[in-house]
Amino acid sequence: MATLAGIVAALADCLEVLEEGGEELEACLSKHERYRQELGALLEIVQDLKITGQEEEPHPSDEFLKDLKAKLLRELPATPQRGGDEG
């Protein structure tokens, strides 16, 4: 019987596999046969979000970005603060 905990764990498992990029979607789904149909649909949505996400998202105006950056760089202390070790 399908449970909330079961599908949540299966989804998390498949997402981890996808994020690591080492396994095909089909292989992941076959590990969770009981949830195959629902997982397949959800993972497809995730892939779509990831593909289009960076460019579809709302962005602030270029003018705002430029002005804020200039303001922040003016505010940035010229002298080292506590914890300012070189990386």
Partner 1 sequence: MYYGLREEILKRSKHVKETTSTLRRDYRRVQRKREAGLGVHSKAGERVRKLLTTYTLGLGDVAPLASVVMFWQSLCYCLVNGPLAGLGLLGRGDDSPGRGLVVKDPGYASLADETLVGRATAGDREAFGELYERCVSRVFRHVLYMVNDVDVAQDLTEQTFLRALEAIHRYEWQGVPFLAWLLPIARNLCLNGQRVQRNNSSIHNKGNGDIAAPSEFYCEAKLDGEAVWEALAALEGDQRQVIVLRFVDGLSYADVAGVLGKSVGAVTVAQYRALRALRRRLENGNLGGHCRSSG
Which residues bind to partner 1, rule: CB under 8 A?
4, 7-9, 11-12, 38, 41-42, 45-61, 64-66, 68-73, 75-87
- Rounded to a whole number of angstroms, the minimum distance from the CB of residue 35 to partner 1 is 10
- Rounded to a whole number of angstroms, the minimum distance from the CB of residue 49 to partner 1 is 4
CB neighbour burial string for 2-22, b if at least 16 within 10 angstroms, e if fewer: eeeeebeebbeebeebbeeee
C-beta of 16 vs 33, nearer to partner 1: 16
Cβ distance 23 to 4 under 8 Å?
A: no
C-beta of 30 vs 72, nearer to partner 1: 72
